[in-house]
Chain A
Amino acid sequence: MSAILTIIKREFTSYFYSPTAYVFIVIFLVLSGFFTFMMSSFFTNNESSLLVFFSWFPWIYLILIPAVGMPMWADERRLGTIELLFTMPVTAVQSILGKFIAAWLFIGIALLLTFPMVITVGYLGYPDYGAIACGYLGSFLLAGAYLAISGMTSAMTRSQVVSFILSAVFCLLLIFSGWPPFTDMLVEWAPTWLLQGAASLSVMPHFASIQRGVIDSRDLIYYFSVIFFSLFTTGILLRTHRAG
């Protein structure tokens, strides 16, 4: 357990040693503000909720989270530090979890820094704070799912660029898999079970349901299974690479 904490501490502080953290946070806040106020005309909606604000997250995350996740293992392999890490008395599970949790916490902090949005709606009207809390929880879980996928693609390659593109595509598939144009493409030839399977992979219904202020165990299970599957695959990929 203490080894995980040590890894979390190092990974987390390393974000702030490099420009990554600051660039990420600034761009995240600017983008989320821009989309909410300019694209969704937040004020003219005349609604004291953060629904439009949260609705942009699956898209903003699509670019930003792969950027946070891409160095996770690709850099370790490129620099060779993975050889240091895996010859320390630490298990692969501890390393994988430690790195993942550190990155997730970092994104959580960026998410918390959007608090002026909450103050704004609170000042202008009477929002449902429970729904806002759920919105944040849903966004945090979504970030975790994307991040786990980015970590997995990062373990596939030494190149951060390849990792970025792969994870953006995988995350996009998660968004699109329940989307009618995508399912229509499958409906012509795919058996029903595949169609339903693909649709059930979609992240959107789960994201929307938590935003409405309902924490359904099915949504939690969905997010945690995506995270678990991705972390597990990361472990297998790392082991395969070392075996040569």
Chain B
Amino acid sequence: MIKVENLYKWYGTKLAVEDISFSVNKGEILGFIGPNGAGKSTTMRMITGFIPISKGRACVGGFDIEANPIEAKALFGYLPENAPLYANMTVRDFLLFCLELRGFRGKQLKEKTDKVIHTCFLNSVQHQNIDTLSKGYRHRTCFAQSIIHDPDVLVLDEPTDGLDPNQKREIRNLIKEMGKNKAIILSTHILEEVEAVCSRVLVIDKGRKVFDGTPDTLKGKSEKAGIIHVEIFSSDAAALTSKLQELDGVLRAEIEKEDGDFAVLKVFPDRTRPSQELCSMIHEVSVKERWKLGELKVEQGRLDEVFHCITGNDA
């Protein structure tokens, strides 16, 4: 649904976006992450046709955003950064205005507005003037205008920015639900959001794409990913460690913590076999040797750590 080919953006002589290509299909939620000023918003503004593209091409639903802007713009909903709104209107009038601009008339206007007001929990404020709303409601109103016409493509620039934790969860669930039959791009710098919502991640830094894959692969890039913590009741941790080290697929094992007859061991895999398999091997050994096993835990790898490694080179 969204296809971006070798996108460039220069502001004067400053290169803001450099050679970014990707595509998003129906049913996919692409998380766009990167530090502030990495070029996330600039890329989204080019895809949505707000700013001209310096070089390259962006297509929405097969329509080139520069050559056929009207057709392309009809297909997507866009939530700009900071959720701008016309202040001197009521929430309902604003939503009706957005629908009318998109060419909807008559009965559909009321139906679609009622529906989106319900989905975005705007019932209580629908007749209130926008400039009297709290930040959370303002944000949801702008979000509502992006989904009101049930578009096939959604471009959301920091959709949960400024919301409280409950509202964040509501919006995330909503995005996840909609992601089943839409193509969605969302930008964020909250890593938990990527894990919670996205089926694919694109990391950009200084205008360049530095990673494109699933959140799990991204996490796998973490140095800590796959390490197994073994909690064991034994007074001779050193002997256990050397026993574990002999296992096939173990790079090395070390004592993490030792406290009387309780110890925590750290097992580093050589990554030739999945960590789960290694776990069951450790379990087998412990049964055979009659160790009292407390807990086996596989380290998942943390996105923020990977993110820092990929993008924080000179930070």
Contact = CB atoms under 8 A, between A and B. Distances in A.
Interface of A: 2-3, 6-7, 9-10, 13-14, 17-18, 79-81, 83-84, 86-91, 239, 242-244
- Sorted nearest first, the 7 A-B pairs with minimum C-beta distance are A80-B84, A89-B74, A89-B73, A17-B88, A83-B80, A6-B100, A87-B48
Interface of B: 11-12, 45, 48-52, 69-71, 73-74, 78, 80-82, 84-89, 93, 97-98, 100-103, 129, 142, 145
Given A6-B100, A10-B97, A88-B102, A81 B85 contact: yes
B103 A89 contact: yes
Most buried by B among A7, A84, A242: A84
A90 B101 contact: yes
A14 B130 CA distance: 12
A75 B93 CA distance: 19
B52 A243 contact: yes
Contacts of A88: 73, 98, 101-102
A83 B145 contact: no
Contacts of B101: 3, 6-7, 88-90
Contacts of A90: 70, 73, 101
Contact of A17 (B70, B84, B89, B97): B89
Given A79-B84, A84-B84, A91 B70 contact: yes
Nearest to A2: B103
Contact of B49 (A2, A7, A10, A86): A86
Contacts of A17: 88-89, 129
A80 B85 CA distance: 8
The residue in A87, A239, A244 that gathers the most chain B C-beta atoms within 10 A of its C-beta is A87
A87 B49 contact: yes
Given A17-B88, A87-B48, A91-B69, 20 more contacts: A3-B101, A6-B101, A10-B86, A10-B89, A17-B89, A79-B85, A79-B87, A80-B80, A81-B84, A81-B86, A84-B84, A84-B85, A84-B145, A86-B50, A88-B73, A89-B71, A90-B70, A91-B70, A243-B52, A244-B51
Max count, chain A CB within 10 A of own CB: residue among B82, B97, B101: B101
Nearest to A15: B88
A68 B86 CA distance: 17
A235 to B, nearest CB: 14
The binding surface of chain A is classed by DSSP as helix
Contacts of B93: 13
B103 to A, nearest CB: 7
A14 B73 contact: no
B145 A242 contact: no
B102 A80 contact: no
B200 to A, nearest CB: 23
B82 A80 contact: yes
B78 A87 contact: yes
Contacts of A2: 100, 103
Contacts of A3: 101, 103
A84 B89 CA distance: 15
Contacts of A18: 88
Given A2-B103, A18-B88, A242-B50, A83 B97 contact: no
Contacts of A6: 97, 100-101
Contacts of B98: 84, 88
Nearest to B72: A89
Contact of B51 (A84, A91, A243): A243
A86 B103 CA distance: 15
A81 B51 CA distance: 14
A244 B129 CA distance: 32
Contact of A83 (B84, B87, B88): B84
B78 to A, nearest CB: 5
A88 B73 CA distance: 6
Given A14-B86, A14-B89, A242-B52, A83 B45 contact: yes
A81 B131 CA distance: 13
Contacts of B49: 86-87
A163 B73 CA distance: 30
